[in-house]
Each structure stands twice: as structure tokens, then as C-alpha cells.
A = this chain, B = another copy of it.
Amino acid sequence: MKNNESQSEKTAREAREKRRNRDEKLQVPFHFADRLNVAIKAKGSAICVGLDPRLEQVPSFIKEKQAKLHENPMTIAAESILEFNKGIIDAVADLVPVVKPQVAFYEQYGYEGMRAYEETLWYARDKGLLTIADIKRGDIGSTAEAYAKAFLGKVDLFGKEVFSFDADAVTVSPYLGYDGIKPFMTEARKHGKGVFILVKTSNVSSADLQDLQIKEGNTIYEVMAQFVESWGADDLGKDGYSLVGAVVGATFPDQARELRKMMPNNIFLVPGYGAQGGTATDVAACFNKDGLGAVINSSRGITFAWESSDIFTEKDYAEAARAAVMGMKRDLDGVLK
């Protein structure tokens, strides 16, 4: 391994740590749901931009530029993704409250990819965006604690507590039950962060397990909704929303309507709008009467909007993403009035 840090890298790392520690002290309101709601109101939209960069779809001018700067193909891939993300973030930062990078698309490129993941989270934070690390982790207690510290909390480095990936929220998978969730809630509470638990996912075979009916008559996703509601009940912010949220797919609007009633105080993270088939009418059921309670994610439909456009070329990918966000905003506003 080559790892000797240069003086400029050291200076940058220390400045970042210092700034982050100051920000943490100033962060008001501190509760995740309040922070998210403030951001939603400020931006006038509940849109979450999914940053799921597929290398083959990243504009070639970016890849060509990075290929001139680096030799290792993994590095070229990771740097291309990062540059692409920065363009998207710059283009949408004033329009949306939150972005959600899906970690699988970064892990593909090994540790170089994970460096791009970390830098993407930092860059988004610098531009005033909240971040949801879409990691869907879930494990036994001691392991979940390690994940929770990695993505939400601080890691003990020889007696000094340091943020690692430092997202504002994570997605978590509930197969292992409460002791796999609790460590995430602990870190979330400590650092004004949030946890979105998978309840009803947007994919077709979500039915395999989630739609099974238990003896008492409920489906598994309904049981999970009860868990989410009760696990999050003690951690409400000023607006009455919990730091524990739920992932509820836009592709199942009837279930979403029912789940909205079952979890009135939990924010929904809603994937499945756009490319996966969910419409504005479908996602309308995910909001409460106060106009809050949901963030609607779109990934490919925004980040690769230029591909299905007659107006934009790959050079204008960021502008195309901005236009797509504005279109999505109009679309959602139309059904939410």
C-alpha cells in the first residue's frame, strides 16, 4: 500500500475535521426530521436525487478527461463518477433538500469507488444538501454498531472520535430484528441523524417475503410498519416526526396509503418514481395532510435525463438533470395541491 499523506492532504483533512466539528455544534435544529423538514420547506420540494452512477452512462467527455489524469482503470472509473456527481450536485443543490447515493454503484470500483462515495457525501454536505447513504445494511448487534459508527456516528481512532462516511441518514434492512436496528438509532440520536427501515420495497419480488400473511392476518410489511412506528415513537422532533423513517416503494400506491395511516409520524423515503414506473399520483399517498412526511427519490430519471432528451447532449448532462428536477417538481406540485 502507498499511503504516506502529503502535507497538503494533511492540511485539507484537518481543516475538514475542524469545520465538521464546528458545524456539529452549530447544527440547529438538531433532530433529523426537523432538519429534513426545514430543508424541504426552504427548497420548496421533497425531491431526493438518487446518485447511482453507472459508468457506462457517464458522459464520455468526463471519462476521457479522467483517463488522461490517471492510469489505474479503477481510479479513472471512481474519478469519473465523482466528477459526474459534482456536476449533478451543483445543478440541483438549490432545488432539492437531499441526495441519496446508492453505495453498490461505488463499491463496484473497490476502495477507489468508496473514496468517491466519501467525497460525494462531503461535496453534497458542502453544497447545503442532506445525504442519505443508501446502504441497506443489517446485522447482529455488535456488527450493526460498527456499520452505524461508519455511516452515521464517529469512529474511535486511538482515543479520538472521528466521523467516517458521515451521512445524515442511512437505509437499513430489518431481517435481523431490533438488535440490528438499535445501534443505528443510538448513533442517529447522538448526531441529529436518521434511519430509514425497509418496509415495502419498490421491486416486483418484494412480495416474496414482504407480502406474506402472518397467522394474525397482517402481512410482513404491516408487521414491519408496526415495528417502525413503535421503535421510532420516543424520538419525535418539533414537527412530530421521528428520526426513524420507512422505505415505502412508489410502485405500490394502495399499500402506501395504508402504511401512511399506520405510521403517521414516520417519514417515508419513497423509491420507484419515474424509471421504475411510479407516478406523481402514486406517490401522493405517501404524504401527510401537512404536506410533509415523505421524500420522493428519483435516480436515473434525473441523473441521466440527457439520454432521453432531444434538447440536451451529454455535455449538458447537469443542465438536463436540473430541468428534470424542475419537471418532477411541477409533476409533484400538481398532485399535492
Contact = CB atoms under 8 A, between A and B. Distances in A.
Contacts of A82: 1
A82 B1 CA distance: 10
A173 B138 contact: yes
Contacts of A76: 157-158
A136 B140 CA distance: 11
Nearest to A107: B150
Nearest to A145: B104
Contacts of A1: 79, 82, 115, 119
Interface in A165-220: 165, 173-180, 198, 201-210, 212-215, 217, 220
A34 to B, nearest CB: 28
A89 to B, nearest CB: 16
A127 interface: no
Interface of A: 1-6, 9-10, 13, 52, 55-56, 63, 67, 69-77, 79, 82, 102, 104-105, 107-115, 117-119, 136-141, 143-144, 146-147, 149-151, 155-158, 160, 162, 164-165, 173-180, 198, 201-210, 212-215, 217, 220, 223-224, 227, 271, 276
Contacts of A215: 213-215, 217
Nearest to A80: B158
Interface of A, helix, strand, loop or mixed by DSSP: helix
Contacts of A140: 201-203, 271, 276
B73 A5 contact: no
A259 to B, nearest CB: 16
Nearest to A14: B72
Residue from A52, A177, A223 with most neighbouring chain B CB atoms (10 Å): A177
Given A136-B137, A201-B175, A212-B223, A5 B149 contact: no
Residue from A143, A156, A207, A210 with most neighbouring chain B CB atoms (10 Å): A143
Contacts of A112: 3, 111
Nearest to A199: B175
Given A73-B158, A111-B114, A140-B203, 4 more contacts: A73-B157, A108-B146, A111-B117, A176-B203
Contact of A164 (B110, B115, B177, B205): B110
Given A177-B209, A212-B223, A220-B220, A141 B108 contact: no
